Structure 1
């Protein structure tokens, strides 16, 4: 068993407080976005033998490469530790994004390698040759955009926006006002009304999913068209300004209210309007969603345990200053209306929940102590376990490790079965929680 030293990623969207509050330390004052617990070469965790914690750390991917059969067991068939575990702390919205399938990732990575695109180049789409199905379990109230709404629902929201823009134009053109200043809202009102008509018309097609998908794709791509009207920011600003003057509409339409909230961080980004196409999801602590390839999504705020196949491949579609490749994104995105992909856990004993998303790389176990006191971790292949509340002791054979929130361990495939014991908090009264990730 190895103690993990998880590197902290300081992306600009990171919260300045959530990880510090979890770990019971003073905030640094800088954004703290993610703790990476895994072997991805982009930011591998350092591994230290639990029996000799004073020893120097070794990057986990180097440790695994030295003896993959013993350390990874059947997971060695993936050619790597198949999953990456993170504590994700979003203080503001992440980019709207989607991830490729395995075949798309392999082809895209090979093409960029053959073209000699440097791995660190900002225009690089594929950092590795793996796909990135993922899931997140909320530790605090957690908000996200996740998957396309029905064409009917999205069309209704765009119709409301068009009406608000039209009303805003009429008011601006009233007596004593300068009609010229209403031009952005006037023109964009007609365009937005066209989106509404397109989406609502597709939804009236007797359940024609192809027609709905085509309508969703056309609106999505029009909003993000780099040569289109939305990318200048003027139309986005006009839409947000009009909505801000229509509180009744915002009360009636969560997606439009979400767009206005996103605009506080990205005031002229067309992704503000793309969000209207997507489900707004609010997770209570303990709830989870899973995100397959092609699902367009963005986390808005909150702290969670995020697990994914070991990859850093992201195709972005707004709410970001980073590279946006619309043709490649269009190839990756699944333009279909889908229900919110909640991941509902199952329980086989007290204090023990198992989240099983439809992915072959991982499952996630949650153990709540003291109810799960003395429980044995599922150990099919390697395990990464991270404490998120209280204090926990993980024991495997002669090794043991005491974990506080944010601390984690790696258990090799050939380690003895590990048991979990709660140590409470400093006053020995608080419950404890451990998340463990292993093969399904």
Structure 2
């Protein structure tokens, strides 16, 4: 097993307190958004040797792909990236491409000579990015399109608020809101989405979104009737004037409690709003944005990627797999997530080695991160002590020979989350 030292990304939307609180340390005052656990070239974790030496996990894998990856060699890389994600404010509204679209888009931009770090580049690599997040704290997100009739009712309320705000006049913004309601009544979700983000739209013009926000703030009774309007006002506090505020009215609001999860397939429009969670995704950085951002928005490419069919929220139901073992199995080839939880003083099952605690078999290369208590994680003859936020990489050669076993040190409970390949 290899102890990891993972990079923390300081994106502006990151929480200055959630990760420090998890890890039991003083905040620095700076935002701490994502702790990357993996071999992604954007920020590979460092493998720390007993002598203090450091090598990138990507280097360790490249030196022994058979032993480290095992069956995952078919992906040509460690197929997933794991993160601790801590959001204090909304992330950009975004969607991810299919594998075919990613390969095509990446090849086109490479052939066109678009620099890899160009701000207008859409495809950073040739991979797709299905993902899943499991909440560690109450966690809020926007996920997929609402049913058209629900969104229609919301925009009818918006048009009413804008008309009353203008003392009965039909302002351009009120007319635009009524147009949204008409499009959605005809189930033209793509038309409504496109109208909002069109560079010639009233919503992208200066003052358009501000009028909407001002009108809604003056009608608290209306806000109480519609959670989507309340969400839009909350988002507008962080992104004043951004057309993404209006896009939120098309999307499902999801509020997860700790232990609940959603998975996000290709084409799903989503935005995390706030909270701390364990996120796992295919190893990619391909993001097409659609608002709540100052980064590049390519509306044509975004429309080509997005699935406009309204669907139920894609919850990932946790599955109990023995005492202290919970599996999260999204419909993806690259990963699943296993949660191991052991109480201090738990006796080893009959026939197991002393202190074996909670056990689970995982498939292929694994990354484990502690989220609660002081954990002792074993695989075969090796053991590593982990406190919240600390992580370890377990090569496929080891997981093939022995299960992972967790015990809690001290008092209370220890919990680790383990990313690995889907198990049978």
1:209 corresponding residue in structure 2: none
Q: 2:155 aligns with which of 155, 158, 167?
A: 158
Matched residue, 1:194: 179
1:145 aligns with 2:127: no
Mapped contact 1:379–1:417 kept (Cα < 8 A): no
Give the Cα separation in 2 of the matches to 1:34 and 1:420.
27
Aligned residues: 410
Offset from partner CA, 1:176-214 (integer Å, 9 cap, x none) = xxxxxxxxx7221111012112212x2xxxxxxxxx2xx
Q: Aligned match of 1:270 in 217, 238, 243?
A: 243
Distance 1:35 1:390 in 2: 19
2:369 maps to 386
Question: What pairs with 1:25-424 in structure 2 (closer than 5 Å)?
Answer: 25-49=25-49, 52=50, 54-170=51-167, 186-200=171-185, 202=186, 212=187, 215-370=188-343, 374-415=357-398, 416-424=401-409
CA contact (8 A) 2:362 2:404 kept: no
- Post-superposition CA distance 1:146-192 (Å, at most 9, x none): 00011111111111111111111117x7xxxxxxxxxxx72211110
> Equivalent residue for 1:206?
none
Q: In the TM superposition, what whole-angstrom CA distance separates every residue of 1:20-61 from its partner, at most 9, and x where no partner exists?
A: 000000001011000000111011001134xx2x23111111
Runs of 4+ in structure 1 off by over 4 angstroms are none
**Distance of 2:363 and 2:417 partners within structure 1:** 15
Q: Which residue of 2 aligns with 1:205?
A: none
Gaps spanning 5+ residues in structure 1: where?
A: 174-184, 203-211
Distance 1:92 1:419 in 2: 36
Does the CA contact (< 8 Å) of 1:233 and 1:269 recur in 2? no
Q: Any stretches of 5+ residues in structure 2 without a counterpart?
A: 349-355
1-side partners of 2:13 and 2:88: how far apart? 6
Distance 1:367 1:421 in 2: 7
Deviations 1:223-263 (A, max 9, x none): 00122221123110000111111111111100110000000
Q: TM-score, normalised by structure 2?
A: 0.94
Q: What's 1:180 paired with?
A: none
CA deviations 1:113-153 (Å, max 9, x no partner) are 11111111111111111000000000000000000011111
C-alpha deviation, 1:418, in angstroms: 4.3
Counterpart CA distance in 1 for 2:224 and 2:402 is 52
Aligned-partner Cα distance in 2 for 1:133–1:378: 24
